[in-house]
């Protein structure tokens, strides 16, 4: 029996239900400029879902310092050309850290600082990731099932996607002979 004021987490798949949840959908059509092969991206049905994010918000004023959001991302498996589906990735506008943790699936967390120093970190069920402030973060699904991960971050962090559109990450995850490999961005 669900109580109307309570939010529930499904511990199997991370899904949220109940109170104070909103959902955002990112389609391949909304990801122009993020993948290497723009032609391949444009050839995919634009309403194909790359990922969904459920956010739990108990915050009444979004930019109030000290408050938090909790989210869960469902990143579908798929390819754009030979590049795996991924999140857009962003810097936080205000230097604030974030926790990610992997619930289901297989993939990579890419982090990058302002000087473009980067790390590629394995994500599999149960891995916990502390993303330091001033690091951009992106998740790539290198598996064949949805990659589901939780997140918690300051509600006043703000999101800078434009730097990623302009400069991208220094590397991409591509499928080579059935295996994920790192490719330097030219
Ligand atoms: C928010 C947090 C996540 C992402 C989500 C989608 O700070 O990092 O909830 O918003 O994983 O990724 P992106 O890069 O499209 O926001
Ligand atoms: Zn973030």
Average pLDDT over residues 73-81: 98
Measured by CA distance, the residue closest to atom 12 of ligand 1 is 87
Global pTM value: 0.97
Measured by CA distance, the residue closest to atom 15 of ligand 1 is 88
* Residue 89 CA to ligand 1 centre (angstroms): 7
Res. 59: pLDDT tops 90: no
Which of 89, 84, 137 lies closest to 106, judged by CA? 84
> What pLDDT does residue 174 have?
98
Res. 112: pLDDT tops 70: yes
What is the number of the ligand 1 atom nearest to the C-alpha of 51? 6
What is the number of the ligand 1 atom nearest to the C-alpha of 73? 11
Res. 2: pLDDT tops 60: no
Average pLDDT over residues 80-108: 98
The half-sphere exposure of 152 on its side-chain side, counting CA atoms within 13 A, is 9
Q: Residues, the chain, total?
A: 186
Full 3-state SS string of the chain:
CCCCCCEEECCCCCCEEECCEEEEEEEHHHCCCCCCCHHHHHHCCCCCEEEEEEEECCCCCCCCCCCEEEEEEEECCCEECCEECECCCEEECCCCCEEEEEEECCEEEEEECCCCCEEEEEECCCCEEEECCCCEEEEEECCCCCEEEEEEEECCCCEECHHHHHHCCCEEEEEECCEEEEEECC
Average pLDDT over residues 167-186: 95
Ligand 1-lining residues (CB < 6 angstroms): 26, 53, 71, 73, 87-90, 98, 137, 151, 153, 157, 159
What is the number of the ligand 1 atom nearest to the C-alpha of 157? 7
Which of 76, 128, 125, 52 lies closest to 97, judged by CA? 128
Q: Tokens at residue 161, please? A: 């996607």
Average pLDDT over residues 81-110: 98
Res. 1: pLDDT tops 60: no
What is the number of the ligand 1 atom nearest to the C-alpha of 71? 9
Res. 20: pLDDT tops 60: yes
Measured by CA distance, the residue closest to atom 14 of ligand 1 is 89
């Amino acid at each position: 029996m669900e109580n109307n004021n309570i939010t529930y987490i499904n511990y199997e798949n991370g899904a949220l239900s109940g109170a104070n949840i909103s959902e955002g959908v990112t389609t391949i059509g909304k990801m122009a400029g993020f993948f290497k092969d723009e032609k391949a991206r444009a050839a995919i049905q634009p309403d194909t879902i790359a990922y969904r994010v459920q956010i739990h918000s108990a915050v009444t004023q979004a930019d109030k310092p000290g408050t938090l959001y909790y989210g869960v991302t469902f990143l579908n498996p798929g390819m754009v050309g030979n590049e795996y589906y991924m999140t857009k990735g962003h810097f936080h506008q205000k230097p604030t850290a974030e926790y990610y943790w992997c619930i289901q699936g297989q993939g990579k967390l890419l982090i990058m600082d302002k000087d473009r120093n980067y790390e590629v970190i394995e994500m599999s069920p149960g891995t916990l990731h502390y993303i330091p402030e001033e690091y951009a973060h992106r998740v790539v699904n290198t598996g064949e099932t949805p990659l589901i991960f939780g997140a918690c971050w300051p509600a006043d962090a703000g999101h800078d996607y434009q730097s990623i559109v302009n400069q991208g990450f220094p590397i991409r995850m591509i499928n080579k002979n059935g295996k994920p490999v790192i490719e330097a961005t030219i």
